[in-house]
Amino acid sequence: MSFPPKTPARFAPARTVGLIGFGAFGRLIAHHLAPHARLRAYDPVVAADAFGPDAEGVDLATAAACPFVILATPVPTLRTVARAIAPHLRPGALVADVGSVKVVPAAILRAELPAQVDILATHPLFGPQSARDGIAGLTVAVCPVRGRRSLRAAAFLRRVLGLAVVVTTPEAHDREMAAVQGLTHLIAKVLVRMEPLPGRAGGRRMTTRSFERIMEAVDMVRHDAPEVFSAIERQNPFAPEVRRRFFALAAELEAELDAADAPGAPRLALVR
Amino acid sequence: MSFPPKTPARFAPARTVGLIGFGAFGRLIAHHLAPHARLRAYDPVVAADAFGPDAEGVDLATAAACPFVILATPVPTLRTVARAIAPHLRPGALVADVGSVKVVPAAILRAELPAQVDILATHPLFGPQSARDGIAGLTVAVCPVRGRRSLRAAAFLRRVLGLAVVVTTPEAHDREMAAVQGLTHLIAKVLVRMEPLPGRAGGRRMTTRSFERIMEAVDMVRHDAPEVFSAIERQNPFAPEVRRRFFALAAELEAELDAADAPGAPRLALVR
């Protein structure tokens, strides 16, 4: 998708965006918002002059005083961050987070941010890896938590950035992601721990398309920050149930295969 | 890859191929060999007039008397089939199997077939699904077990059918496939048993590229015959060890995540 370079007029008054958190995902946000907005970024471990060309390094209070504030910090830090920015937020501002889960963050932001601030909980379903070739056409889930500005921000994501915007609720999001992300990261984690995998050694001469697909999935998430795995598996209220089913069915299959291998079952000897 | 329609002269005297087994993979073989050879097929559950345009239905003895004989029957039937064809094989014939494992089939064929018969154990690393758009460029592993004709047959697979031919030993093949196929089919089996997966219901609006890759892998193997799963998991001497590692590491991860969820560990409550 492509759009005319001009930003629709109604976004014009609110073009300054405060970005809290300048990790891998914060930098991705800065890269894609820089053509459309003035970015003021704060990160406790990034020096003010080290934000590069896309964002101006500022202090927390300055970033929090922008009309749009994006929180790109790990989910476990969200309550602390929300409390820290709350005194500096302007009435009528919009605060958005970008965490991989939505039930817990939405509840934290609703509880911690002043009533005059609008809230949009978002989950961009991509990361630096999958966004390597651009973000147009990629999916972002958005949960309007409070206020009318949140839907305008969703329109911006769709019309200006070209994202596929799925409007949902935190609960519906987390239920679905418990399978989509929970299973992907679980399987990837186990396979990474099994490495080196014989099929990948020696240039993978002998491989199957299906195994290649699985290893492509592993490669997409293997460099994710540990906080991403932790958020997906531990801060999604529906993840434990999906995980339990996966492990229970795996154990069931293991028992079936063991039974088939047991004495009395048809056997084929190892012959050299 | 493309090749001139004429078959190299040295294949000319041996253009008749006996095909034992006319299941999904037998039909795939017939489809791709029909332009290059006269096919005589036998399958105990297919009537002689039901082989379609690619192959002529014959009895077992006639199929076994061809200069090339391909065994496309499930691995557990291989010893029975080898014993049944042995009396009908002509000296100098080449017998090939196409099973997903190679240690056990190679040993069976070496033990059961007369010494004057050459043997090529093969594993086409594709199936009717992955070969939907043709077989050129797909991989076949070949293990020359006995005789010189086997290398000529490998040359035919590469030059005439356009396959990527990997020459290996039954043991090296099975070691590598214990991971490549063993893990793919194990993971796919567990995920199929978990269905319907939330991320796949409702048109999968919210999904990630990595989850899509995994589900593509599942879709590639979900319709495989049960014998394929059984061969991969139970008739590969190295599969149990790979499986044990997968299940052990999964259990280890489960314990870690459970410990993190335990009382005393940092918790995030489910909030609506």
> Sorting pLDDT into bands at 50, 70 and 90, what band is B138?
very high
Instruction: Tell me the per-residue pLDDT of B173-230, one tens digit each, with 9 for 90 and over.
Output: 999 999 999 999 999 999 999 998 865 555 557 888 899 999 999 999 998 888 889 9
Packing angle, helices A239-261 and A170-194, rounded to 10: 40
- Are B141 and A206 inside 8 Å of each other by CB? yes
Which of A117, A135, A168 is the last residue before a domain boundary? Answer: A168
Question: Could you tell me if residue B4 is inside a domain?
Answer: no
- The three-state secondary structure class of A71 is strand
pLDDT of B130 reads 84
Ordered strands of the B68-71 beta sheet: B56-57, B38-42, B16-20, B68-71, B94-97, B118-124, B139-146, B164-167
Question: Dihedral of CA A185/B179/A206/B71: which sign?
Answer: negative
In a domain, A51, yes or no: yes
pLDDT at A10 over 60: no
Angstrom distance (rounded) from CA A34 to CA A266? 65
In a domain, B266, yes or no: no
Residue A125 to residue B245, Cβ atoms within 8 A: no
pLDDT tens digits for range B110-123 = 999 999 999 999 99
Residues B184 and B214 reside in one and the same domain:
yes
Considering the domain architecture, whether residues B157 and B190 belong to the same structural domain is answered as no
Nearest CA in chain B to A124: B208
**Which residues in B lie closer than 8 A to residue A187 (C-beta atoms)?**
187, 214
Q: Which of A103, A217, A247 sits opposite B210 (nearest CB)?
A: A217
- Residues in chain A closer than 8 A to B232 (CB atoms): none
pLDDT value at position A9?
43
Q: What is the mean pLDDT of the segment spanning B146-169?
A: 93
Report the pLDDT value the prediction gives residue A128, as an integer from 0 to 100: 87
Long-range (24+ apart) CB contacts under 8 A made by A179-182 are: A179/A242, A179/B194, A179/B197, A179/B198, A179/B199, A180/B197, A180/B198, A180/B199, A180/B206, A180/B207, A180/B208, A180/B211, A181/A100, A181/A232, A181/A236, A181/B208, A181/B211, A182/A232, A182/A233, A182/A236, A182/A238, A182/A239, A182/A242, A182/A243
| Model pLDDT, residue B203 | 53
Closest CA–CA distance from residue A199 to any residue of chain B (Å):
5
Q: Place B69 in a pLDDT band, splitting at 50, 70 and 90.
A: very high
- H helices within A56-204, ranges in order? 60-64, 78-85, 103-112, 149-159, 170-194
Query: What number is the average pLDDT over the span B63-84?
Result: 97
Do the chains contact at A205 and B246, CB–CB below 8 Å? no
Indicate if A61 and A135 belong to the same structural domain.
yes
B10 min Cα distance to partner chain A (Å) = 29
Look at residue A123 and give its three-state secondary structure: strand
Q: Which of B40-54, B141-155, B254-268 has the lowest mean pLDDT?
A: B254-268
Q: Which residue from A198, A234, A270 is facing B261, i.e. has the nearest CB?
A: A234
CATH number of the domain within which A139 lies: 3.40.50.720
Flag whether A4 is in a domain: no
A150 CB-side CA count, 13 A: 20
Instruction: Report chain A's mean pLDDT, rounded to a whole number.
Output: 88
pLDDT at B266: 47
- Compute the nearest-CA separation of A49 from chain B (Å): 34
Among A130, A176, A235, select the one facing B268 at the smallest CB separation.
Answer: A235
Q: What pLDDT is recorded for position A2?
A: 42
Nearest residue of A to residue B130 by CA position? A209
Q: Which amino acid is at B69?
A: V
One domain for residues B155 and B23: yes
Instruction: Please name which of A123, A132, A96, A145 lies closest in space to residue A220, comparing C-alpha atoms.
Output: A132
Nearest beta carbon to residue B220 from set A199, A206, A209: A209
Domain presence at residue B130: yes
Residue A130 CB coordination number (10 Å): 16
Q: Are residues A187 and A222 in the same domain?
A: yes
Domain finish residue from B168, B186, B201:
B168
Q: Are residues B34 and B155 in the same domain?
A: yes
Handedness of CA B255, A220, A173, A118 (dihedral sign): positive
* B122 & B189 share domain: no
Phi, psi for residue A208 in degrees, rounded to 5:
-120, 160
Kindly report which listed range (A151-155, A199-203, B10-14, B183-187) carries the lowest average pLDDT score.
B10-14
List chain A residues with CB under 8 Å of B272.
103, 171
Tell me if B246 and A107 make a contact (CB, 8 A cut-off). no
Residue B3 has pLDDT above 60, yes or no: no
Show the domain range for B77. 9-168
State mean pLDDT over A79-100: 97
Q: Half-sphere exposure of B76 toward its Cβ, with a 13 Å CA cutoff?
A: 13
Strands A118-124 and A68-71: unpaired
Same domain, A178 and A222: yes
Q: How confident is the model at residue A79 (pLDDT cuts 50, 70, 90)?
A: very high
CB nearest A205 (choices: B166, B187, B246): B166
Smallest Cβ distance to B190: which of A175, A193, A249?
A249
- Mutate which: A129, A168, A180, A195, vs B, most B CBs within 10 A: A180
Residue B222 belongs to some domain of the structure: yes
A160 and A73, same structural domain?
Answer: yes
Q: How many percent of chain A have pLDDT more than 70? A: 88
Looking at residue B235, its amino acid is Q
In a domain, A267, yes or no: no
Q: What was the pLDDT predicted at B15?
A: 84
Burial of B50 (0-12, 13-18, 19+ CB in 10 A): exposed
User: Both B107 and B208 in a single domain?
Assistant: no
From A9-13, B11-15, B68-72, B73-77, the region with the lowest mean pLDDT: A9-13
B100 in the same domain as B21: yes
Token readout for B218 is 């599942």
CB contact under 8 Å between A214 and B178, yes or no, is no
Considering CB atoms only, which of B104, B209, B246 is closest to A271? B104
Select from A210, A237, A240 the Cβ nearest to the Cβ of B217.
A210
Average pLDDT over residues A112-141: 94
The tally of domains found in chain B comes to: 2
How many contacts does A have with B, using Cβ atoms within 8 A? 204
Residue in chain A nearest B244 by alpha carbon: A254
Do residues A60 and A130 both lie within one domain?
yes
Question: Which string of DSSP letters, residue by residue, matches A244-255?
Answer: HHHHHHHHHHHH
Mean pLDDT of chain B: 88
Instruction: Please tell me which residue of chain B has the smallest CA distance to A197.
Output: B179
**Number of residues in chain B:** 272
Residue of A nearest to B193 (CA): A249
pLDDT beyond 50 at B9? no
CB contact under 8 A, A211 and B181: yes
Averaged pLDDT, B232-252: 94
Lowest-pLDDT range of A53-62, A263-272, B13-22: A263-272
**Would the pLDDT of B41 be above 50?**
yes
Of A168, A197, A212, which residue constitutes the final position of a domain? A168
Tell me the one-letter amino acid at A201. A
Q: At which residue do the structure tokens 């319907």 appear? A: B196
Of A56-70, A101-115, A211-225, the poorest mean pLDDT is in A211-225
β-pair type (A139-146, A118-124): antiparallel
Chain B nearest-CA distance from A52, in A, is 29
Interface pTM, i.e. ipTM: 0.83
Q: Which chain A residue is nearest to residue B197, measuring alpha carbons?
A: A179
B14 found inside a domain:
yes
Whether B213 sits inside 8 A of A210 (CB atoms) is no
Q: Which residue of B has its CA nearest to A221?
A: B210
The residue with greater pLDDT, B227 or A163, is A163
Inter-chain touch B179–A197, beta carbons under 8 Å: yes
pLDDT of residue B262: 57
